[in-house]
Amino acid sequence: MNKGTAKNPLSKDGSQYHIGCRQGDLAPYVLMPGDPGRIEKISQDWKKKKQIAFQREYKSLTGFFKKVKISCLSSGIGAPSLAIAVEEAARLKVKTFIRVGSTGALQKGVNPGDLIINTAGVRLEGTSEKYVAKEYPATANYEVVLALIEACEKLKYKYHLGITASTDSFYVGEGRKGYQGYAPSNFENVLPDLKKAQVLNLEMESSALFVLGNIYGLRTGAICAVFDNFTTNQWKVKGEEKVGRAASEAVVILNKWDKIKKRKNKKYIYPSLIN
C-alpha cells in the first residue's frame, strides 16, 4: 500500500520516490557521482557489491571497501537533481556525502587528470537559494576535506585544494558560447572575474551540496577529476578511476576517525586525538 502523501511522496513499496531506496539500503557514507555510468568505475575495488535501484538519473549500489560499508548514489547533472538525492538519502540516515565528479579548472598549473578537493563553493546555482539567502556560505565539512587530503597523500595522487564555483549551465554558464554563438552581455566577464578571485574550478553541484550539508547537519565534501582547463584550453577525460579510489579511501579514513571520536567521547576530530 502506498503510504506517501503530497507532502511526503513515497513509492508503493515505501521506498523514496525518486531514488528508489528504503531504510537500510544505503550506508552512512555515500559517494555521489553525477553520471550513473561512473558508479562501476568508482566501486571497482569494492567487495560484496549489490545494486539497490536505478530510477531516472538515480542509480544506487552498496558494498564494502576495506571492510567499511559504503554506498554510491548518482545525482544526475546539476544542483536540482542532487538536492533531491540528498533530501531522500538523508531521510534514510545517510550522514556523510562526498561528491565524486568531474570539473573544469580556472587556474594555470592544474591539468587534466589532476584532482581538486573543494573547501567551499561560489553559489552560482539557483537550487540552494530556495533553501537560504545567497549570503549563507557554502562550505565543505572540514573532516571530509582532511580525509580527502589524507587519501590523496596516501595514494600519491596530484591534487589541488580550493574554492569551486557551481553553476546551473554547462554551456553559457561555464563560459562556452551557446547555440549559434549566443552569449549574454556579461558573458565575457564571468570566467575572468572568478579567476581573479582565485576560484580554482567550475562545476555544477558542489555548492548546493555544501549548503544542504550545513543546514541539515550532514558532513559533505567534494573531490573532482579535472577534465579541462578554461585558461589553457586543455580538454581530456582523465582521472575517473583515481577520483573514485581517493573518495573510497577517504571513507575508510572517516570511519576510523569516527570510531576514535566515539571511543574518546569527542564530537570533532583534531590532530592530537588521532595521534
> Is 149 within a domain?
yes
Q: Which of 8-12, 255-259, 270-274 has the lowest mean pLDDT?
A: 8-12
> Is 8 within a domain?
no
> Is 56 within a domain?
yes
Residue-wise pLDDT for 84-111, tens only, equals 999 999 999 999 999 999 999 999 999 9
> Is 131 within a domain?
yes
Distance CA 268, CA 264 (A): 10
> Which pLDDT value is given to residue 1?
47
> Which pLDDT value is given to residue 128?
98
**Mean predicted confidence (pLDDT) in 75-81:** 97
Question: Does the pTM exceed 0.75?
Answer: yes
The full length of the chain comes to 275
> Which pLDDT value is given to residue 2?
57
Residue-wise pLDDT for 30-66, tens only, equals 999 999 999 999 999 999 999 999 999 999 999 999 9
Which range of residues forms the domain containing residue 109? 29-176+184-274
CATH of residue 243: 3.40.50.1580
pLDDT band at residue 14, thresholds of 50, 70 and 90? Answer: confident
Residue-wise pLDDT for 108-153, tens only, equals 999 999 999 999 999 999 999 999 999 999 999 999 999 999 999 9
Q: What is the dihedral of CA 86, 89, 92, 98, to 10 degrees?
A: -80
Residue-wise pLDDT for 141-195, tens only, equals 999 999 999 999 999 999 999 999 999 999 998 889 999 999 998 888 899 999 9
> Is 4 within a domain?
no
Number of domains, the chain = 1
Question: Residues near 150 by Cβ (< 8 Å), separated by ≥ 6?
Answer: 250, 253
The DSSP 8-state label assigned to residue 178 in this structure reads: -
Cell numbers 538519502 correspond to what residue? 89
Phi first, then psi, for residue 128 (nearest 5°) are: -65, -25
Q: What is each CA distance from 21 to 11, 28, 81, 152, 208, in whole angstroms?
A: 10, 13, 16, 31, 22
> Is 22 within a domain?
no
> Is 20 within a domain?
no
> Is 19 within a domain?
no
